[in-house]
């Protein structure tokens, strides 16, 4: 498996869940991967598992200085960058009538502002053939009860790909959205419990939650030349949740 042979990738939110699963698949396909996240001990554990073709940088996508350190590390070790997987995201439930400004700021700082600057600060290192992947969500299409800020932020991410595909005309850089549905990450399992996972599984035509590795496999496709004529697109990996 060498679809990403010699390529350099950045994955935000790369120490756990979908990001970590994608990092493993990227490395299996020949990539050198920088994972970015907020918890040093979790980053260290991920790098220990991922092996010598992984590096970790601690920081938050909502902090521009942290992103500058990330891309300085990429430039110092690799010189250029081929793939950005803007995967870091945040969201919590708060029903209409109880929404606070702090809740909106927390969600949008990560899911909107964080995505914008993750991509914008990467561009000087990227060139023709580059691939930008944005993590959307089925909630950006369907909405989700009590998830006003999160759902709206993911709808914004979908529009980023359409807008940036226009902005990137002539550069040879592609930008697409990968939109998961319910995925059995460590966080989801902890938050939902066994019964909650069964409820989410029952909502999808495939009657189960996704394994993070299944989302990572599609990220590899979008990162590789297999998707070379795709830009501004959304790929739903949601078990049919938002499609019916």
pTM across the whole model? 0.95
154 classed as catalytic: yes
Q: Give the domain extent around 105.
A: 8-237
199 has pLDDT over 90 = no
First to last CA, the chain: 34
The band of 201, judged by pLDDT with boundaries at 50, 70 and 90, is: confident
Residues 230-241, mean pLDDT to the nearest whole number: 96
Q: Determine how many CB atoms are found less than 10 A away from the CB of residue 102.
A: 8
Domain membership of residue 50 (yes or no) is: yes
CA distance linking residue 136 with residue 241, whole number of Å: 14
Domain membership of residue 181 (yes or no) is: yes
Residues 221-233, mean pLDDT to the nearest whole number: 98
191 has pLDDT over 70 = no
The band of 197, judged by pLDDT with boundaries at 50, 70 and 90, is: confident
Single out the catalytic residue among 24, 154, 169, 198. Answer: 154
In 21-37, which positions are buried (b, 16+ CB within 10 angstroms) versus exposed (e)? bbbbbbbbbebbbbbbb
CA distance linking residue 1 with residue 207, whole number of Å: 30
150 classed as catalytic: yes
How many separate domains does the chain show?
1
Which residues does 102 contact at the CB level (< 8 Å), separation at least 6?
none
pLDDT at 198 (0 to 100): 84
CATH number of residue 134's parent domain: 3.40.50.720
188 has pLDDT over 80 = no
Single out the catalytic residue among 75, 98, 150, 169. Answer: 150
- Of 163, 224, 223, 222, which Cα lies nearest the Cα of 236? 222
- Per residue in 128-182, pLDDT tens? 999 999 999 998 999 888 999 999 999 999 999 999 999 999 999 999 999 999 8
């Amino acid at each position: 498996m060498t679809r990403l042979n010699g390529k350099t990738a950045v994955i935000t939110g790369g120490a756990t869940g979908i990001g970590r699963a994608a990092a493993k698949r990227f490395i299996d396909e020949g990539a050198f991967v920088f994972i970015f996240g907020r918890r040093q001990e979790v980053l260290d554990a991920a790098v220990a598992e991922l092996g010598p073709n992984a590096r970790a940088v601690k920081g938050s996508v909502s902090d521009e200085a942290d992103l500058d350190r990330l891309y300085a590390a990429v430039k110092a070790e690799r010189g250029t960058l081929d793939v950005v997987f803007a995967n870091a995201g945040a969201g919590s439930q708060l029903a209409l009538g109880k929404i606070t400004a702090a809740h909106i700021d927390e969600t949008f700082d990560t899911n909107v502002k964080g995505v914008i600057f993750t991509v914008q600060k990467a561009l000087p290192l990227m060139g023709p053939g580059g691939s930008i992947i944005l993590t959307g969500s089925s909630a950006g299409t369907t909405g989700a009860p009590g998830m006003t800020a999160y759902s709206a932020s993911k709808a914004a991410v979908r529009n980023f790909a359409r807008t940036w595909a226009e902005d990137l005309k002539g550069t040879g850089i592609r930008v697409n959205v990968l939109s998961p549905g319910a995925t059995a990450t460590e966080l989801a399992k902890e938050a939902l419990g066994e019964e909650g996972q069964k409820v989410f599984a029952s909502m999808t035509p495939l009657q189960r939650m996704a394994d993070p590795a299944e989302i990572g496999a599609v990220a590899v496709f979008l990162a590789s030349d297999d998707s070379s004529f795709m830009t501004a697109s959304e790929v739903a990996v949601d078990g049919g949740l938002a499609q019916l």
